[in-house]
Amino acid sequence: MSQSDVTTLNQKFAIPGQLEFTEDVGGLIIARIANKQAQSTIALQGAHVMTFEPVGEKPVIWLSPAAKLVLGKSIRGGVPICWPWFGAHATDSTFPAHGFARTVPWQVVASEALSDGSTRVTFELPQSSIPAAQWPHACRVRNIVTIGKEMTVELVTENTGQAMFEISEALHTYFVISDVDKIRITGLEGCTYLDKVGDWQRRTQDGAITIAAEVDRLYVNTDSDCLIDDNGHKRCIRIAKRGSLSTVVWNPWVEKAAKMGDFGSDTGYRGMVCVESANAAENVVKVAAGATHSLHVTYSIENI
């Protein structure tokens, strides 16, 4: 079946009243979920969750108003999948930052209306989308997205080859916030982090994280939940992860956001923060031949 054929996708996987597939003007195919608990849009390119909005709640996931929905280009916002490496490639600077997974076509392999009223869609990265020069390993990679009053994203890597391989990865999630000076991020107190803004110095987190300049930190050896405590929206966003020992906190601030060119208005950076559930630096994951590794995150809202 040609996965680029919306009609075929809808015949096989649409769920009346919950899930349909449409083609965007830029040629991207979008899964559109609207059930009694939430709405979400997911691009098949990169199995990229773009939006998530529980019923009666403000949007949780931030998508840049200037996001370019173009084939082969990364989408600014949502939940980009960084795989099979996080950040710059270790040895080849010509390979794309954050890996290739987020800019190649994925396929839909399953859709389910769950008994609790949520909707689950399973995406798979076909071997044909994997550039062999960048990743010469046999593997099965799935992204399983469940949309209800909470959102769950599970990135599953199966080593179907004969030798161990090593990955670094992240669900590089962008969150909607009221304003960058009205939030604090908790859960990483006392953790060691690599400070990209400070020349990758290793530092220790003292208290809650507040943001008043560019922040780009890779916290290591932490499996803690993180909370984005948003005094402006009078809510907390909980990020509850399993299978992840790193967390990245990023806000580009004004200069870097302007340079990136797809943050929308010159104050676009004020309405977002990234809290990314990852495995990177000393937390890279060795996947033995025949083994399966899961990075699983549940995003939920708590009112304050």
Residues classed as catalytic: 172, 276
Min dist CB 148 to ligand TA6, Å, is 27
Min dist CB 74 to ligand TA6, Å, is 5
Q: Note whether 52 binds ligand TA6 by CB under 6 A.
A: no
Q: Which of 172, 233, 235, 241 binds ligand TA6 (CB under 6 A)?
A: 172
Q: Which of 48, 89, 98, 233 binds ligand TA6 (CB under 6 A)?
A: 98
- The candidate with the shortest Cα–Cα distance to 269, out of 207, 232, 215, is 215
**Window 117-156: contact mask with ligand TA6 (x via CB under 6 A):** ----------------------------------------
Q: Where are the alpha helices (DSSP H) in 6-117?
A: 6-13
Q: Note whether 196 binds ligand TA6 by CB under 6 A.
A: yes
Strands (E), 94-244: 107-113, 119-125, 139-147, 151-159, 165-167, 169-171, 174-176, 183-186, 192-195, 201-204, 215-219, 226-230, 235-242
CA 149 to chain centre: 18
Q: Which of 18, 276, 295, 299 binds ligand TA6 (CB under 6 A)?
A: 276
Residue 202: strand pairing partners: 194
Q: Which DSSP letter does residue 11 get?
A: H
Min dist CB 197 to ligand TA6, Å, is 9
Q: In the complex with ligand TA6, which residue's Cβ is closer, 227 or 274?
A: 274
Tell me if 52 sits within 8 A of 299, measured CB to CB. yes
**C-alpha span between 73 and 219 (Å, rounded):** 28
Q: Taking CB positions, which residue lies at the least distance from ligand TA6? A: 250
- The candidate with the shortest Cα–Cα distance to 299, out of 125, 107, 57, 86, is 57
Q: Which of 57, 70, 87, 254 binds ligand TA6 (CB under 6 A)?
A: 87
Min dist CB 241 to ligand TA6, Å, is 15
Min dist CB 232 to ligand TA6, Å, is 23
Q: Which of 97, 164, 289, 291 binds ligand TA6 (CB under 6 A)?
A: 97
Q: Note whether 283 binds ligand TA6 by CB under 6 A.
A: no
Structure tokens at 226: 């993180």
Tell me if 157 sits within 8 A of 168, measured CB to CB. no
> How many residues contact ligand TA6, by CB under 6 A?
12
**Which residues have C-beta within 8 Å of that of residue 128, sequence separation ≥ 6?**
none
72 Ramachandran zone, left/alpha/beta (phi>0; psi -120 to 50): left
Q: Note whether 220 binds ligand TA6 by CB under 6 A.
A: no
Pairing type for strands 235-242 and 285-287 reads unpaired
**Window 234-273: contact mask with ligand TA6 (x via CB under 6 A):** --------------x-x---------x-------------
Q: Which of 74, 103, 247, 277 binds ligand TA6 (CB under 6 A)?
A: 74
Min dist CB 286 to ligand TA6, Å, is 22
**C-alpha span between 186 and 181 (Å, rounded):** 15
Residue 165: strand pairing partners: 287
Q: Note whether 216 binds ligand TA6 by CB under 6 A.
A: yes
Residues that bind ligand TA6 (CB under 6 A): 74, 87, 97-98, 172, 196, 216, 248, 250, 260, 274, 276
